[in-house]
Amino acid sequence: MPGLLSSPVCLTVIWFLSWSLPPSRAQIWSDEVSDVQFGRLESNVTLACGKSQISVPVVWRHNHSSVSSWHQVTFNGSLVLFLVDQSAQGNYSCYDDSGLLLHSVILRLGYPPGLLSISCRVPNHTFVRCTWKDSVKTFLPAKYNTSFRGKEEKEPTKVCIVDSTNRRCVVEDPAFWQTIHTFGVTETNALGSHTSYRRIRLNELLKPDPPRSVFIEEVEGNPSKLWVTWKNPSSWPEDRFFPLRFHIRYRPQGSMHWSEMMTEENSIEIPDATPYHSNQVQVRARDDVSPESQWSEWSAPSFRTPWRADTTTHPSDDPDDDIYLFSTPPETFTSKTHGVVQEDDGNLGLVILLVLFSIFILTTVLSLIFVIW
Ligand SMILES: *[C@@H]1O[C@H](CO)[C@@H](O)[C@H](O)[C@H]1NC(C)=O
Ligand SMILES: *[C@@H]1O[C@H](CO)[C@@H](O)[C@H](O)[C@H]1NC(C)=O
Ligand SMILES: *[C@@H]1O[C@H](CO)[C@@H](O)[C@H](O)[C@H]1NC(C)=O
Ligand SMILES: *[C@@H]1O[C@H](CO)[C@@H](O)[C@H](O)[C@H]1NC(C)=O
Ligand SMILES: *[C@@H]1O[C@H](CO)[C@@H](O)[C@H](O)[C@H]1NC(C)=O
Ligand SMILES: *[C@@H]1O[C@H](CO)[C@@H](O)[C@H](O)[C@H]1NC(C)=O
């Protein structure tokens, strides 16, 4: 039986069950059901020994040991804790003089919510994501509600779908033509609540994600040209109504000085790449319609050495070729390599199959001869 329990199948089943059981979500809030009292750090906290008046002398215990002497038990049995710090948290219980447990309470300490610092990202015209951070750590579980409002009063408030654990929310299809919006977030915890606001201009915050799949190809027969292609960021609509402008910069690897070009296409030819040398290329994007919007971050650097007469004959002689390891190689390059590898695999498989087949034939023939004999 122990063998069965530790068997891989059994372990897998246990693992699966433990994952499929409903997660104990919002456990922090359900704490409130059992007796939890919240208090403010660095203040005086009074803990009552039950709801009814208690006249007998009582004894308080904290985490099952006696309470430090500087705290005070009042005439009605309440415990007053002076200028509490984090170590005052925990389980407090009070007993009568016969040792009978009268009451117990969990004390959690922290601060009421303060000002939040808010920042918002707009990767396309239909999406706003705002995130916020505490300027003061509260140490307590919190809930958030938000609002996203245009300047015009008539405009209904947009819901920002809140993800409380990651402290962010998302607005879909904001009214982009309204120049100013106000984003508000209210943080509420057991000690209070506070609302922070941020005014935002969507067209100024509009900042696409960087272009992706930047490929550089050599131009056959020309040692100073490179052909660069890229794709729109995946979060940008593939639609002619939302054109992007691209900024390309390139330099010989190791140089300090960039050369630059602009285009609205998804490809460009670099006419003056440095021959026989690895060239570094990056691309960034911006909405072509709103001039006040922001440039995306630069794409990750890609590297390529232009065509040279001897590339096909001695491809691995030059140390520059190692540079390919850092760049995303063009599709044709990878697919060719894969093709070759697969072909090798196929040949090897065929040889193995032939050997196995001949062994099989040999044993059959031998056993037949043996039987006949
Ligand atoms: C805490 O209690 C002490 C003693 O009664 C008092 O002097 C002090 O002002 C109180 N502090 C706060 C923050 O209430
Ligand atoms: C006990 O007395 C303190 C003041 O000494 C008061 O703040 C508290 O409310 C009283 N508790 C009860 C349960 O009456
Ligand atoms: C009591 O227990 C709580 C929670 O386990 C802990 O945070 C606190 O530091 C403990 N305090 C003491 C004095 O043991
Ligand atoms: C707190 O301590 C009391 C007395 O030991 C115990 O009965 C109670 O279950 C404890 N509460 C928690 C949440 O551990
Ligand atoms: C969150 O809800 C409270 C109570 O309903 C409300 O007073 C507050 O204004 C709301 N916060 C925001 C940012 O809308
Ligand atoms: C806008 O960006 C968001 C987040 O990246 C994405 O989920 C959404 O599909 C994008 N919208 C369009 C129209 O591409």
Q: The domain spanning residue 36 has which CATH number?
A: 2.60.40.10
The verdict on 56 and 130 lying in the same domain is no
Name the token pair of 150.
């245009």
Closest residue to atom 12 of ligand 6, CA basis: 237
Average pLDDT over residues 335-358: 57
Do residue 240 and residue 178 come from a single domain? Answer: no
pLDDT of 10 above 70: no
The ligand that comes nearest to the alpha carbon of residue 44 is: 1
Same domain flag for 39 and 89: yes
Task: Please report which ligand is nearest the Cα atom of 76.
Answer: 2
**Ligand 5 geometric centre to CA of 178 (Å):** 23
Ligand closest to Cα of 107 equals 3
Same domain, 144 and 199: yes
Q: What is residue 183's predicted lDDT score, i.e. its pLDDT?
A: 92
**In the listed set 259, 293, 312, which residue is the last one of a domain according to the structure?**
312
Q: How far apart are CA 70 and CA 84, in angstroms?
A: 11
| Stretch 328-354: mean pLDDT | 49
Q: Strands of 96-210 (E only): list them.
A: 101-110, 116-124, 127-134, 143-150, 161-163, 168-172, 181-189, 192-200
Q: Are residues 222 and 264 in the same domain?
A: yes
Domain that holds residue 32: 28-110
Q: Is the pLDDT of residue 308 over 90?
A: no
Do 132 and 145 form a contact (C-beta atoms < 8 A)? no
- Cβ–ligand 6 distance for 339 under 6 Å, the answer no
CA Rg value for the chain: 35
Q: In a mutational test of the pocket of ligand 6, which residue from 124, 161, 231 has the highest number of ligand atoms less than 8 Å from its CB?
A: 124
* C-beta of residue 250 within 8 angstroms of C-beta of residue 276: no
Residue 40: φ, ψ to 5° = -90, 130
Average pLDDT over residues 156-181: 85
| Domain count for the chain | 3
Q: For residue 195, what pLDDT is reported?
A: 95
Question: Residue 91 — very low, low, confident or very high, per pLDDT cuts 50/70/90?
Answer: very high
Summarize the confidence of residues 207-235 as an average pLDDT: 93
Residue 110 predicted with pLDDT over 60: yes
**Closest atom of ligand 5 to CA, residue 184:** 13
pLDDT at residue 35, as a whole number: 87
35 close to 106: Cβ distance less than 8 angstroms: yes
Q: What is the mean pLDDT of residues 237-261?
A: 92
Residues lining ligand 2, judged by CB closer than 6 Å?
46, 48, 74, 76, 78
Q: Which of 155, 173, 205 is the last residue of a domain?
A: 205
pLDDT at 323: 44
User: How far is residue 373's CA from residue 366's CA, in Å, rounded to a whole number?
Assistant: 10
Distance 66 CA to ligand 3 centre (A): 13
Higher pLDDT, 15 or 213: 213
pLDDT-derived band at 17 (thresholds 50, 70, 90) equals very low
Same domain, 188 and 246: no
**Is pLDDT of 13 > 60?**
no
**Shared domain check, 187 and 123:** yes
138 pLDDT higher than 80: yes
Does pLDDT of 328 surpass 50? no
**Please, which pLDDT band fits residue 344 given cuts at 50, 70 and 90?**
very low
Give the C-alpha separation, 249 to 262, whole Å: 9
Verify that 226 and 286 share a domain, yes or no: yes
| Alpha carbon of 80 to ligand 1 centroid (Å) | 10
Do 267 and 188 share a domain, yes or no? no
132 found inside a domain = yes
* 76 Cα nearest atom in ligand 2: 1
Nearest ligand to the C-alpha atom of residue 73: 2
Ligand 5 site-directed mutation target among 116, 118, 143, 145, most atoms within 8 Å of CB: 145
Banded pLDDT at 15 (limits 50, 70, 90):
very low
Tokens coding 103: 């009451």
Ligand 1 touching residue 82 (CB < 6 A): yes
Query: 209 CB contacts (<8 Å, ≥6 apart)?
Result: 123, 233, 234, 235, 236, 296, 297
Q: Is residue 84 part of a domain?
A: yes
Percent of residues, the chain, with pLDDT higher than 90: 48
Residue 283 and residue 60: Cα distance in Å, rounded? Answer: 68
The residue type of 62 is H
Specify whether 163 is located in the same domain as 234.
Answer: no
Within-domain flag for 150? yes
Say what the pLDDT of residue 300 is.
94
| pLDDT class of 348 with cuts at 50, 70, 90 | low
Residue 259 included in any domain? yes
4 inside domain? no
Which range, 12-21, 156-165, 180-189, 343-352, is most confident?
180-189
Q: Does any domain span residue 20?
A: no
Residue nearest to atom 11 of ligand 5 (CA): 186
Q: Is 237 in the pocket of ligand 6 (CB under 6 A)?
A: yes
In the listed set 205, 231, 255, which residue is the last one of a domain according to the structure? 205
Q: Within its chain, how far is the Cα of 364 from the centroid?
A: 62
Task: Note the pTM of the prediction, 2 decimals.
Answer: 0.68
Ligand closest to CA 59: 4
Residue closest by Cα to atom 6 of ligand 5 = 186
Give the per-residue pLDDT at 74.
83
364 is a domain residue = no
The answer as to whether 15 is a domain residue is: no
Q: Are residues 201 and 235 in the same domain?
A: no
Is 43 close to ligand 1, i.e. is its CB under 6 Å away?
yes
Give the residue whose CA is nearest to atom 9 of ligand 2. Answer: 48
State the distance from the centre of ligand 3 to the C-alpha of 195, rounded, in angstroms.
Answer: 32
In degrees and rounded to multiples of 5, residue 254 shows phi and psi of 100, -15
Residue 218 and residue 308 in one domain:
yes
The finding on whether 242 has its CB within 6 A of some atom of ligand 6 is no
Q: What is the pLDDT of residue 346?
A: 52
* DSSP assignment letter at 299: P
The answer to whether residue 334 scores a pLDDT higher than 90 is: no
